[in-house]
Amino acid sequence: MSQRQRLILFSVAMAGLAACFGWAASGLPGFGNYPGPYGPVILHDAVAQTRATGVVSAVNFDYRGFDTLGEEFILFTAAAGLSVVLRRLRGEREREPDREPETDNSNKPGTSAAVKVPALLFTGPTVLIGWWLASHAQANPSGGFQGGVTLASALALVYLAGEFIAFRRLSPVMLTDAVEAAGAGGFAVIGLIALAMGLPYLDNFVPLGTIPGSVSSGGTIPLISFFVGLEVAAAFTLIIGEFLEQTLLIRRGLWITSRSSWSPGSSPSACMGS
């Protein structure tokens, strides 16, 4: 199809689809008129059943915890898939460093202190907030996903401060892989423990505590949230690291190839031969 034909067909089809969607949306309840039974039931039962005041977390990690397991593994798989897709491109760069233009890094301006200082200043608080988010799912609508992303962004701040080597030292691929595996596997194993105790999979087998919303209440909810936090932090660190490495490879080819040996993931021989 030519660009023009495609555009015409797409516009007509989209108009048809939009009409269908409009027809469907006309059957939706009005704004604010939630008709479903799910919300009221959960609001009524959640605190009594789980001792978690973060009802969203109770749904995420208890009522519908099995969905969350799947979602966590989608991220896990995406990170593994990214490593697969990017590893070879990196290998190609490494084989032909001579064709890269020699860049003299000493002539380039370093990271400005105006960026460096705030980035490093914020790193500590970001870690703290991430940790707090990941470990307080039972108390409020936080949880492992938000906490994990925040933790990973603390490492991104380290990079922003111009410390790529420090970024890599803080997150060697072997470590991120292990943490990712521990986080993802840990969640699945918590469910298995319930099974071993003769309960249904992912049953909340840990004592729920007495005070709703306190740090020790909620049973498996904070535990699962913690493991999700580990997995998400490691997966995002891995993803950010892979993309940063790609960018650096393209920008300063030789610089990175000569130092790639301390990063096990960047060695193509560890993955697959040509």
Partner 1 sequence: MPSLPVVVPLIAAALLLAARPLATYRRTLDLVAVGTSGAVALILGFLIFRTDHSGSYWFAGFHPAHGIAVGIEFTIGPLNAGLACLGATGMTAVMVFSWRYFTQVGTYFHVLMLTFLAGMTGFCLAGDVFDMFVWFELMGVSAYALTAYRPEERGPVQGALNFAITNSVGAYLTLTGIALIYGRTGALNMAQIGAWVDRHPPSGLVTISFLLIITGLLVKSAIVPFHFWLADAHAVAPTPVCVLFSGVMVELGLYGIARMYWSVFGPGLGHRAAVGHVFLALGVLTAVVGALYCFRERHVKRLLAFSTISHAGVFLAGFALLSPLGLAGAALYVAGHAFVKGALFLGAGIVLHRLRSVNETWLHGRGRKLPVTGVLFTAAALGLADLPPFGTFLGKGWIDDAAEAPAVTLILLACTIVSAGSVLRVAGGVFYGLGDPPREDERMAAEANEETGETDTARQRTPLSMLAPLALLTVAGLAVGITAMDPHASDALLAAAAQFQGQPAVKPADVTVSSVVTGVASAGGAVAVGLAGLYWRRLPVLRSLYEPGARGLGLADRFQSGVINDYVTWAIAGLACLGGVLAAIIR
Q: Which is closer to partner 1, CB of 126 or CB of 204?
A: 204
CA distances from 67 to 23, 92, 126, 189 (A): 30, 39, 28, 15
Site string for partner 1, 26-45 (x = CB under 8 A): xxxx----xxxxxx-xx--x
Provide, rounded to whole angstroms, the least separation between the CB of residue 72 and partner 1. Answer: 9
Residue with tokens 């980035």: 119
Q: Per CB under 8 A, does 47 bind partner 1?
A: no
Q: Which residue in the set 14, 113, 211, 250 belongs to the binding site for partner 1 (CB under 8 A)? A: 14
Q: Do residues 22 and 14 lie in contact, with contact meaning Cβ atoms separated by under 8 Å? A: no
The Cα 238–Cα 241 span in angstroms is: 5
The Cα 231–Cα 96 span in angstroms is: 35
Q: Tell me the number of residues near partner 1 by CB under 8 A.
A: 82
Provide, rounded to whole angstroms, the least separation between the CB of residue 104 and partner 1. Answer: 31
The Cα 242–Cα 260 span in angstroms is: 12
Q: Which is closer to partner 1, CB of 28 or CB of 114?
A: 28
∠ CA 83-72-58, rounded to 5°:
160
Q: Which residue in the set 4, 24, 105, 197 belongs to the binding site for partner 1 (CB under 8 A)? A: 24
∠ CA 68-69-72, rounded to 5°:
80
Q: Which is closer to partner 1, CB of 20 or CB of 165?
A: 20
Site string for partner 1, 216-255 (x = CB under 8 A): ----------------------------------------
Q: Which residues of 139-166 are buried (b: 16+ CB within 10 A; e: fewer)?
A: bbbbbbbbbbbbbbbbbbbbbbbbbbee
Site string for partner 1, 170-209 (x = CB under 8 A): ----x--xx-xxx-xx--xx-xx-xx---xxxxxx-----
Nearest residue to 63 (alpha-carbon basis) of 270, 219, 265: 219
Span near partner 1 by CB under 8 A; candidates 1-9, 99-107, 157-165, 206-214: 1-9
Interface of this chain with partner 1, residues 87 to 116, rule: CB under 8 A = 87-89, 91-92
Provide, rounded to whole angstroms, the least separation between the CB of residue 246 and partner 1. Answer: 12
